[in-house]
């Protein structure tokens, strides 16, 4: 069987959206190719004196609408087609919510749990030095992603600043508050998932109170979304992490679960309330109102799609649904709110952080959350209207909105030289 290539998903979706809009090929052809792909070898002296070389990447998909923007992930299975796909999704995500960025993405092939903190710091700094020609506040602004956090962003900022000879806060977002990070940034993606889930329920005339939700992932996205959805009165009945999942028909005590996870606990050992232990696959096929895949890409494939019972899928992760699975879900009448809209909260607040850094000012958390909600709901409304106009899925609606903006920028700017 051919290896799954997420970039093929991207290309197929671009072609489908362009066809619905009747766009001439010249308008969108450049969007099928990343502008730059950099692969680097990262030598690191380990604590025992040995030298290991890690492979790293930085891909800039498009700078049509502004500097490239996108996270850096540290994961042992990462490869170039995944990074290309993630960079392209960022391009469309920024366009759909109408913030002045293009898409980029970075990665290092490493499991950070297998190396010491000192080794991680040395690797991060050397990786930053290797991608230095590509990044900068006006060129490409990294952020946290899978297995990276605000500490790692702080190291990247400091390394970049040392090369420049002065502090450059705006080179990364998702930094610690003490060096220019934004209030509300760490919870922004999960908050966005909550806002979009609430909005789609309103649009479909479904009650928010006691709506049953299953969430794959309890990290920066899934965990925050679970807490906020529970506060809205929804019933989170299932959660999962790398070890497996837990299920409770009457709803989990999310405060207890999140405190347990925060202290390093794995869900397959969770005993603070009576739960049923389930697999990640079982979680995805539970009979719930809303399913939120908030882990990695390619979780819902064509074999699983026919077994999904949720009425609504809100994509908290990037690319969790394959193109074939998407078609099956559409045929079944399952509403899928696509990743480029559903998890855009993170990049929106990253944009706020960048603006604050450039202008040397700070916003309070209420202002951050209020402005996030305004931008995200406005984008939802535009996508919903486009979906209705073309009788399409939410995904095609979102891609058509984004493609319109990107192609408009291409027509205005033209092709150099």
pLDDT value of residue 2 = 56
**Max CA distance (Å), the chain:** 66
Number of domains making up the chain: 2
**Residues 338, 297, 143, 7, CA torsion sign:** negative
User: Is 127 a residue whose pLDDT tops 70?
Assistant: yes
Last residue of a domain, one of 307, 341, 375: 341
Residue 304 pLDDT grade (very low, low, confident, very high; cuts 50, 70, 90): very high
Would you give the DSSP letter of residue 325? H
Residue 297 pLDDT grade (very low, low, confident, very high; cuts 50, 70, 90): confident
Judgement on whether residues 192 and 310 belong to the same structural domain of the protein: yes
pLDDT value of residue 51 = 98
Question: pLDDT tens, 190-227?
Answer: 999 999 999 999 999 999 999 999 999 998 899 999 99
Judgement on whether residues 199 and 336 belong to the same structural domain of the protein: yes
Mean of the pLDDT values across residues 58-64? 98
Mean of the pLDDT values across residues 3-24? 92
Beta carbons of 46 and 52 less than 8 angstroms apart: yes
Question: pLDDT tens, 162-172?
Answer: 999 999 999 99
User: Does 134 reside within a domain?
Assistant: yes
pLDDT value of residue 4 = 77
Cα torsion for 361, 367, 372, 374, to the nearest 10°?
A: -120
Judgement on whether residues 39 and 128 belong to the same structural domain of the protein: yes
How wide is the angle at C-alpha 332 spanned by C-alphas 331 and 336, nearest 5°?
85
Last residue of a domain, one of 312, 341, 370: 341
pLDDT value of residue 86 = 94
Catalytic residue among 84, 93, 105, 175: 105
Mean of the pLDDT values across residues 165-183? 97
What burial letters (b/e) apply to 242-268, b meaning 16+ CB within 10 Å? eebbbbbeeebbbeebbebbeeebebe
Question: pLDDT tens, 67-94?
Answer: 999 999 999 999 999 999 999 999 999 9
Residue 105 is among the residues annotated as catalytic for this protein = yes
Judgement on whether residues 140 and 196 belong to the same structural domain of the protein: no
Determine the 3-state secondary structure of 276 from DSSP: strand
Rounded CA-CA distance 408/13 in Å is: 18
Judgement on whether residues 79 and 161 belong to the same structural domain of the protein: yes
Judgement on whether residues 227 and 130 belong to the same structural domain of the protein: no
User: Is 306 a residue whose pLDDT tops 80?
Assistant: yes
Percent of the chain with pLDDT over 90: 93
Mean of the pLDDT values across residues 388-413? 97
Judgement on whether residues 160 and 83 belong to the same structural domain of the protein: yes
Judgement on whether residues 130 and 205 belong to the same structural domain of the protein: no
Domain of 108 in residue numbering reads as 34-169
Mean of the pLDDT values across residues 295-314? 91
Average pLDDT, the chain: 95
User: Is 1 a residue whose pLDDT tops 70?
Assistant: no
Percent of the chain with pLDDT over 70: 100
């Amino acid at each position: 069987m051919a290896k799954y290539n997420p970039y093929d998903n991207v290309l197929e979706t671009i072609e489908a959206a362009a066809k619905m809009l009747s766009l001439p090929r010249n308008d969108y052809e450049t969007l099928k190719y990343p502008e730059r792909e950099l692969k680097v070898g990262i030598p690191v002296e380990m604590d025992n004196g040995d030298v290991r070389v890690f492979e790293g990447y930085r891909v800039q998909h498009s700078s049509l609408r502004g500097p490239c923007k996108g996270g850096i992930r540290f994961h042992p299975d990462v490869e170039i087609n995944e990074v290309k796909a993630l960079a392209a999704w960022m391009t469309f995500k920024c366009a759909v919510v109408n913030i002045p960025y293009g898409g980029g993405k970075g990665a290092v092939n490493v499991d950070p749990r297998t190396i010491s903190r000192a080794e991680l710091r040395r690797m991060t700094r050397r990786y930053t030095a290797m991608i230095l020609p590509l990044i900068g506040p006006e060129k490409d602004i990294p952020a946290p992603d899978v297995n990276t956090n605000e500490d790692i962003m702080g190291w990247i900022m400091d390394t970049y600043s040392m090369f420049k000879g002065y502090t450059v806060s705006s080179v990364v977002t998702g930094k610690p508050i003490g060096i220019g990070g934004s209030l509300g940034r760490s919870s922004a993606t999960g908050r966005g998932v909550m806002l979009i889930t609430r909005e789609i329920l309103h649009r479909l005339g479904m009650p928010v109170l006691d709506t049953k939700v299953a969430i794959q992932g309890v990290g920066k996205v899934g965990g925050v979304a679970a807490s906020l959805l529970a506060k809205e009165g929804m019933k989170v009945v299932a959660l999962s992490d790398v070890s497996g999942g837990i299920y409770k028909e009457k709803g989990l005590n999310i405060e207890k679960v999140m405190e347990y996870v925060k202290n390093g606990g794995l869900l397959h050992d969770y005993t603070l309330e009576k739960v049923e232990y389930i697999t990640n696959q079982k979680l995805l096929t539970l009979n719930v109102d809303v399913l939120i895949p908030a882990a990695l890409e390619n979780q819902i494939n064509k074999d699983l799609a026919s077994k999904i019972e949720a009425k609504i899928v809100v994509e908290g992760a990037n690319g969790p649904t394959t193109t074939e699975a998407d078609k099956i879900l559409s045929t079944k009448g399952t509403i899928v709110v696509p990743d480029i809209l559903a998890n855009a909260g993170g990049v929106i607040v990253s944009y706020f952080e960048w603006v604050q850094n450039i202008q040397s000012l700070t916003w309070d958390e209420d202002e951050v959350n209020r402005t996030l909600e305004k931008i995200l709901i406005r984008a939802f409304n535009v996508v919903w209207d486009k979906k209705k106009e073309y009788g399409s899925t939410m995904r095609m609606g979102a891609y058509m909105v984004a493609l319109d903006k990107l192609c408009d920028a291409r027509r205005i700017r033209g092709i150099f030289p």
